[in-house]
Structure 1
Amino acid sequence: MTPSDDETISRGRGRLILAATVLGSSLAFIDGSVVNVALPAIRQALAARPEQIQWIVNAYLLLLGALVLIGGSAGDRYGRRKVFAIGVALFALASLACAVAPGIGFLIAARALQGLAAALVVPASLAILGAAFEAERRGPMIGAWAGFGAVTAAIGPVLGGWLVDAVSWRAIFLINLPIAAATVWLTLKAVPESRDPEVKHLDWRGAILAAAGLGALTWGLTAAGERGWASLAVWTALVAGVAILIGFVISQAREAHPMMPLSLYRSPTFSGANLLTLTLYFGLTGALFFLPYELIARHGYKAAQAGATLLPLSLVMGTLSGVAGRLANRIGARAMLTIGPITAGIGFGLLGGPWIAGGFWTGVLPGLMILALGMTISVAPLTNTVMAAVPSSHAGVASGINNAVARIAGLLAVAVLGLVYFTPGRGGYPWVMAISAAAAIAAGLIGAATIRTDTPRSGERGRPPAARPGSGG
């Protein structure tokens, strides 16, 4: 809801509101990528096993993916400013816990707390902009938010890699503290409070079932690498995870105010777009998790160098995403969502070749540039397609579901591809990239089969889109 006194928000105050939301969301975006370049150092320092290394990322993605929808509803119900500030403060405390972690178990628990906090911060950051400004001012503000998000996504791995090399892996968590302090100060100083009076109920049962089901499934997939597929514990966790997720779907059908309304899936385009998201972001997250790890562990890169290899991806996407959005309006989303994922799949395939041992410029950059082009073609029309596939009154929750699907895809990618990468005799890294390539190409085929050829409708939305993982916002 837009405050009735919107006209009293001066340009100066508007810039402070924008700064608060950018800084707050950057905490989640940076920590979602910068940790990857620190994993080899963390593994050595804490004597961690491969599956524990995977859980450093999975614990964060699990809580964020499972709770981001209810986190958005909490902001609508209790106040977006309040929930945003609480989320940022909790993220800071969790970051401090990560920095001082005495062992791997403590670190994983602290990362889970970071994911819970991010589930409050990410949806609230855009909801604050949507509520604080009328339509004419909202668009430029969200555009600036996305642009700054792309910048933070680009510099995060580079800064994190430098800190790992020059200071310690613990420093990548300590840098969150001054950012969080500045965010809370700006939020209390400038951000107006807003609520949605129509939201009177939170689907806690759905949130608990989603987190439990995904957690059991992820644990089973991750533990299979160490315990083997003959393990009773592994199969018990997998069966329990599937059963709980089925229970989650049943609860959503019976819940009066579900966090994931099943009625939205009556739209073939909405269902297809989310299946496309699941497969495309499975490939993307898996590749971006294992590429830096491979370069550091097997090819002698420093952490800062490995982080810098991801710069072209963020820069190309940040620079050309607007062009891709306009092109989608001209030629239609279906063509873009067919060509884009398949192009990204070619990039994954090139990144899996033996030539990456030949150095960055000839071994890594060509594949990375093709991947960047494919993702740039895909991201903008994918977001618009999800929003356009449902009634305007459900645009916010539809975008939130798509955001959660992308996070869950990453969670499953790290668990499943970890079995391939860390299991001796399985081919390791080349097979990881081959699977990522196959997933992206499958996403393109899904786009061709399910996405309508008409362009997304324009017009006023109920709520602004949720942040797009992997796109820098």
Structure 2
Amino acid sequence: MTRQLSTPLGAAGASRTGGARKIMALVGICAAAAAMPLTFTGPAVALPAISRDLGGSPIALNWVTNAFMLTFGSSLMASGALADSYGRKRIFLIGLVAFLLFSAGLAFAPDIVWFDVLRALQGMGAAAAFSGGMAALAQEFDGNARMRAFSIVGSSFGVGLAFGPIASGFMVDSFGWPAIFALVVGLGTIAFVLGSIFLHETRDPEAKGLHWPGAASFTLALALFTYGVLLAPENGWGSPSVVALLVASAALLAGFWLIERRTARPMLDLTLFRYPRFVGVQLLAAAPAYAFVVLLILLPVRFVGIDGMSEVGAGQMMIALSGPLLVLPVVAGLLTRWFTAAVICGVGLLIAAGGLFWLSTIPAGVPASQPLLLIGPLLTIGIGISLPWGLMDGLAVSVVPKERAGMATGIFSTTRVAGEGVALAIVSAVLSALAGTRLGSGLGGSGEEAARAAQRLVTGDLGAAAAVMPQMSREALALNYAQAFSTLLILLASITIFTAVVVVAFLGRKEPETASEAAVCDSPAG
């Protein structure tokens, strides 16, 4: 009898041990996920302080955020392919080491050029860590447990978004802007230790390694497009340099499409775009970029640089925007018991659009004099975007078979993060153009002077804008900027409404579901 009982007891013990190992591996991935949003919310809060210490042109200061988001977004698919080929755990750990080294180096950057270069390298490390970690996590869990694990990682990302601005504001206010990278390094170190101990090494035996022509053409297309958009406010959209950059980007993107079509094992399986639900998921991934993520960058810059809030005060205000991500993504998963994912996502985007319209009605001067009036619209935007946020990762990972998890997370994450980088570049350029038009009309057509002042305002440097246009008071400059910001918010709300309609139409299409996709809707955690 003892012999008969020993086998199940041993199996139970092994199961408990395996379960504990998986939980610790999940904690490691979550630590890395929480560190990622700190890398772009932190510098946004600290941008006015970084500008004072390191100087730099408006374009160089825009690259503080764009350099990270560009390399992060454009490297994700390549990182996913490398993870499938050479080991998901290995790429995760290598990416974390690079991420940690470059994050620490940013605190000692001697000037804005070095800062931007290190930000770009930091983004590449982050892409490897994110793709490798998510692909490795997909191999650790199955079925509903797998979907819950991805939901928890998404919530961890929300924790970083929620507390990143206030933590960064406190660090800047107490120790100076270099301190914002200390928390990033701490979380990354935890992720490295837990990942190296508890993650299993896995790879796709059929993977063929990185397809360099596809990776190079895609990365260059994104880089040239972003650079062209950033140059446009200064040089004009019709300038030869801007037109050449945009045309070259379009040509490279077309080349990428042709290369991927003719590749037996592409980084981006273009045949997936034949399915409306897959396209709907990609549109859903891009939606938070212009309805939410751009605000994580633009609002702290405005609050600190234009409205005169402290870094801590700006961080506190941003909790209202990102705080709902701590809870509501899980609620969205629960709601799938009664509503379809398409309905939940569409309603969430409409709520976010309402919040953007509400925020556009807040008069100039209110952020500094009556900051509590901002809580309502910021909270509404955060609530709205949290609903699709809770379902996106689970829907995305169900698109391809488990063994192609690196590609699945790579496609979805590339759409999301590259979309964020492109959206930020475009929105910043539009805001600069709107502010420049208002300033120019107020001066009887001094277009060049107004454009230069507007570029400074977008980076939160009110003093430099006043130096460019001494004939206008600081109050008048801030008022014109706030009015341009309100117009921008109305544009973003309109785009979000349109996206909600399209996403509902595409996700609502009836197509054969995979078993893992059904699990998205069955899982209580989304």
TM-score, L = length of structure 1: 0.89
2:503 to 447, 453, 463: 447
Deviation at 1:457, TM superposition (A): 4.6
User: Residues 97-136 of structure 1: matches in 2 within 5 Å?
Assistant: 97-133=105-141, 135=143
CA contact under 8 A between 1:6 and 1:132: conserved in structure 2? Answer: no
User: Residues 108-187 of structure 1: matches in 2 within 5 Å?
Assistant: 108-133=116-141, 135=143, 138-187=146-195
CA contact under 8 A between 1:276 and 1:446: conserved in structure 2? Answer: no
CA contact under 8 A between 1:396 and 1:462: conserved in structure 2? Answer: no
Compared with structure 1, are the counterparts of its residues 218 and 141 closer, same or farther at alpha carbon in structure 2 (3 Å cutoff)? closer
Partner of 2:426: 416
Compared with structure 1, are the counterparts of its residues 268 and 33 closer, same or farther at alpha carbon in structure 2 (3 Å cutoff)? same
CA contact under 8 A between 1:22 and 1:148: conserved in structure 2? Answer: yes
| Structure 1 Cα separation of the partners of residues 102 and 518 of structure 2 | 32
Deviations 1:24-75 (A, max 9, x none): 2322232132221111211222222222222111111111111112212212
1:433 aligned to 2:482? Answer: no
1:339 aligned to 2:395? Answer: no
Deviation at 1:411, TM superposition (A): 1.1
| Structure 1 Cα separation of the partners of residues 28 and 504 of structure 2 | 40
Judge which range, 219-228 or 197-206, deviates more. Answer: 197-206
1:404 to 414, 418, 423: 414
Deviation at 1:236, TM superposition (A): 0.8
User: Residues 341-380 of structure 1: matches in 2 within 5 Å?
Assistant: 341-355=349-363, 357-359=365-367, 362-380=372-390
| Structure 2 Cα separation of the partners of residues 309 and 454 of structure 1 | 41
| Structure 1 Cα separation of the partners of residues 402 and 95 of structure 2 | 28
Compared with structure 1, are the counterparts of its residues 138 and 278 closer, same or farther at alpha carbon in structure 2 (3 Å cutoff)? closer
Deviation at 1:168, TM superposition (A): 1.2
Compared with structure 1, are the counterparts of its residues 368 and 9 closer, same or farther at alpha carbon in structure 2 (3 Å cutoff)? same
CA contact under 8 A between 2:208 and 2:265: conserved in structure 1? Answer: no
| Structure 2 Cα separation of the partners of residues 453 and 63 of structure 1 | 34
CA contact under 8 A between 1:349 and 1:433: conserved in structure 2? Answer: yes
Deviation at 1:12, TM superposition (A): 4.3
Judge which range, 159-168 or 304-313, deviates more. Answer: 304-313
CA contact under 8 A between 2:166 and 2:315: conserved in structure 1? Answer: yes
CA contact under 8 A between 1:64 and 1:407: conserved in structure 2? Answer: yes
| Structure 2 Cα separation of the partners of residues 9 and 41 of structure 1 | 48
2:281 to 273, 282, 285: 273
Partner of 1:469: none
| Structure 1 Cα separation of the partners of residues 154 and 14 of structure 2 | 22
Compared with structure 1, are the counterparts of its residues 458 and 258 closer, same or farther at alpha carbon in structure 2 (3 Å cutoff)? closer
Partner of 2:38: 30
**Residue type of the partner of 1:57?**
T
User: Residues 33-112 of structure 1: matches in 2 within 5 Å?
Assistant: 33-112=41-120
1:306 aligned to 2:314? Answer: yes
CA contact under 8 A between 2:150 and 2:394: conserved in structure 1? Answer: no
CA contact under 8 A between 2:356 and 2:490: conserved in structure 1? Answer: yes
| Structure 1 Cα separation of the partners of residues 261 and 132 of structure 2 | 26
CA contact under 8 A between 1:153 and 1:314: conserved in structure 2? Answer: yes
| Structure 1 Cα separation of the partners of residues 188 and 333 of structure 2 | 32
2:222 to 214, 221, 228: 214
CA RMSD of aligned residues (A): 2.9
CA contact under 8 A between 1:329 and 1:456: conserved in structure 2? Answer: no
CA contact under 8 A between 1:356 and 1:364: conserved in structure 2? Answer: no
CA contact under 8 A between 1:344 and 1:374: conserved in structure 2? Answer: yes
**Residue type of the partner of 2:241?**
A
Q: How many residues align?
A: 461
1:233 aligned to 2:289? Answer: no
CA contact under 8 A between 2:151 and 2:390: conserved in structure 1? Answer: no
Deviations 1:88-135 (A, max 9, x none): 110111112211111111111100001100111112222222223455
Higher-Rg member (1/2): 2
| Structure 2 Cα separation of the partners of residues 433 and 152 of structure 1 | 24
1:326 aligned to 2:334? Answer: yes
List gaps (5 residues or longer) in structure 2. 1-12, 439-482, 521-525
Compared with structure 1, are the counterparts of its residues 268 and 189 closer, same or farther at alpha carbon in structure 2 (3 Å cutoff)? closer
Compared with structure 1, are the counterparts of its residues 342 and 266 closer, same or farther at alpha carbon in structure 2 (3 Å cutoff)? same
Judge which range, 379-388 or 188-197, deviates more. Answer: 379-388
Deviation at 1:253, TM superposition (A): 0.7
Judge which range, 393-402 or 209-218, deviates more. Answer: 393-402
Partner of 1:467: none
Deviations 1:142-190 (A, max 9, x none): 4443443332332221111111111111111233334333333333333
| Structure 2 Cα separation of the partners of residues 388 and 90 of structure 1 | 30
Deviation at 1:429, TM superposition (A): 1.6
Deviations 1:310-362 (A, max 9, x none): 22333322212222223234222332232221221111122223336334654
Compared with structure 1, are the counterparts of its residues 131 and 384 closer, same or farther at alpha carbon in structure 2 (3 Å cutoff)? closer
| Structure 1 Cα separation of the partners of residues 364 and 381 of structure 2 | 15
Compared with structure 1, are the counterparts of its residues 101 and 330 closer, same or farther at alpha carbon in structure 2 (3 Å cutoff)? same
| Structure 2 Cα separation of the partners of residues 73 and 289 of structure 1 | 30
| Structure 1 Cα separation of the partners of residues 102 and 234 of structure 2 | 28
Partner of 2:259: 251
TM-score, L = length of structure 2: 0.80
Judge which range, 75-84 or 348-357, deviates more. Answer: 348-357
Deviations 1:436-460 (A, max 9, x none): 2122112112123322256995734
Q: What SS does structure 1 have at the residue aligned with 2:138? A: helix
1:194 aligned to 2:202? Answer: yes
